[in-house]
Every structure is written in C-alpha cells, then in structure tokens.
C-alpha cells in the first residue's frame, strides 16, 4: 500500500488509496528549469506516450499526474519591481502552453 522513494536527495512517500482516488490538479509536481533547454526536455519527456499539454506551463503525464514545468526566469520576471514588466510577463504566460523564456522576456520588455 505504500512506497518510499528518493528523488534528488528528497525523500517521498506515496500511498495507494485505491481505485476511487485518482490524480487531479490538487496534486502536482513542479520542475524548476534553469533555461529553455530544460523546459523543452522535461516537457517532451513528460508528454510523450500519452501525456497531455496544458496551459501556463502545466501538463499531465501519461499516468494523469500534473506537472508544472517552469523556467526559473519566470519567477524573476513576475517579481520584477517594475509592475508593468511583471504584468506583461504574466499576461504572456497566461496565453502559453509550454513556457517560452524568450517570449516571456520580450513581453516583459514590451516587445
């Protein structure tokens, strides 16, 4: 009924609650990506084999588990002291599926 595992030095425990409990967006894992190459890598791997892309950097893997594939740059842009830059970055992010770092920067800059 339970399994313990470690990912990148972090310990996790999972419980099989039975067939009446399925994955939904209330449980998701976030991958903090250093750059666009990492975003592209994880997005491709997690959507292959039946995964489904979603909005704003979210996707579901082939098992139905939700993931957030987020470039580190997004947090910096959303927390920019210039509220106009932050708002433009947020507006751009809300229109994306897989997040595009260059497009987020361009939106923040007003390009």
Q: Where are the domains of the chain?
A: 23-108
> Quick one: fold of 23-108?
2,3-Dihydroxybiphenyl 1,2-Dioxygenase; domain 1 (3.10.180)
Query: For residue 78, what pLDDT is reported?
Result: 97
What is the overall mean pLDDT for the chain? 93
pLDDT per position in the chain (111 positions), as tens? 788 989 889 888 888 777 887 777 888 899 999 999 999 999 999 999 999 999 999 999 998 999 999 999 999 999 999 999 999 999 999 999 999 999 999 999 998
Q: Are strands 10-15 and 2-7 parallel, antiparallel or unpaired?
A: antiparallel
Query: For residue 96, what pLDDT is reported?
Result: 98
Q: Which helix (H) or strand (E) holds 45?
A: helix 36-47
- The CA-CA-CA angle for residues 73, 41, 62, to 5°, reads 115
């Amino acid at each position: 009924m339970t399994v313990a595992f470690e990912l990148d030095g972090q310990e996790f425990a999972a419980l099989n609650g039975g067939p009446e409990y399925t994955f939904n967006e209330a449980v998701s894992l976030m991958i903090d990506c250093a750059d666009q190459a990492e975003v592209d890598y994880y997005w491709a791997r997690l959507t292959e084999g039946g995964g489904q892309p979603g909005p704003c950097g979210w996707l579901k893997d082939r098992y139905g588990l939700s993931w957030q594939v987020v470039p580190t740059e997004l947090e910096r842009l959303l927390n920019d002291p210039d509220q106009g830059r932050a708002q433009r970055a947020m507006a751009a992010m809300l229109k994306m599926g897989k997040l595009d770092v260059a497009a987020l920067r361009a939106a923040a800059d007003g390009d």
